[in-house]
Structure 1
Amino acid sequence: MNTQLTELLRLLRNMIRTGCIIEVDADKWLCRVATGENQTGWIPWLTMRAGAARTWWKPSIGEQVLLLAIGGELTTAFALPAIYSDENPPPSQSENALVVTFPDGAHFEYDPESSKLLISGIKQLVLVASKEVFFDTPKVRCATLLETPQMSVTQGGTMNGDITHSGGKLSSNGVVVDVHNHSGVKSGGDTSGGPVK
């Protein structure tokens, strides 16, 4: 087999290869990949979007990727995440669900069969909106404590259980509940008049 044919076969074999991430430089958006007995230099990984809209999801060490080498030279390769492996199997075997898991135990799942979105395993959820957050649903439930600086109820409602109020004034229909006078006050067991507004 002549030298040119050997080189051509080498380039063809290198055009598409599998490998595993061995190093990641997040600041330069580059990674190094081990493929067979070879290791690439620092090469970019492919992302979902990189224009006016951009995504960021750094590959992890040990993650299996596909190497796409222009012209068969590994120096020109891109790493395309990702391929399941024995070390990193899929997080679900669902037929239709979208499932994303993270190393800290966080879990994101949407299953169209149940129409349920589940987010679990997180310590804090921060939602920042400059104008409004709107929930269009028949019911919003909070399991323990709902804390807010201000609250406005526009269509009535009910409260059950003990309510503790401290600081400021508690008014009902223009009457301060804890401090107010009554009209028509009489002695003995007579009933006084209504509260003075």
Structure 2
Amino acid sequence: MQAMQYEITLPADYDMGIVHHRVATRGHLTDTLPGLGIKAYLVRETGTLGSPVNAYAPFYLWRTATGMTDFLTGPGFRGLSADFGRPTVRHWIGAGLHTGPAADTPPTTATRTTRSLPPGTDPGEETARALAALGDAPGLHTAAVALDPARWELVHFALWADTPPETPAEGHCTAYRVLHLSRPEPLLPAKD
């Protein structure tokens, strides 16, 4: 599993209805995308969920690296780049996935918490600790933990059927609204 996200920050006076319309009319195009496990169409809107900015910030969990590469070099990403400029794409190595008790309820919010792994900490132990902490919080739809070995950071991504719980004391947490969720392929171990 590979995790990936790009965030396009938009002006404070940007009409976020444009992004809502884009997702409403194009979101279904990733509902059958090969190699994709989950794509959460996420937005941040000034004043909502504590956001100081407007942003379009989809988060992906790829089943295969080939699927991710095909997307980044294909027509969908070309179209996004033509409309908004080519964004910086963050990606992480998937370390684990957990289905929560609200997995059958459409998610309305998402959180991404990023935590640095200081020198001297064992990445394996920290990843195992993060996976154990996923738990079964009420309202949890799906959660994933992934590792960025270039920055030595862990990212914890969670989808929530309702408002997320309080942000954790450790790390930097960002909250998003979910406009659409694509789940074309189950996130099972892949061969590439």
Shorter chain as denominator, the TM-score bin is under 0.3
TM score, norm. by length of structure 1: 0.18
TM score, norm. by length of structure 2: 0.18
Higher relative contact order (CA 8 A, sep 6+): 2
The structure having more radius of gyration, on CA atoms, is 1
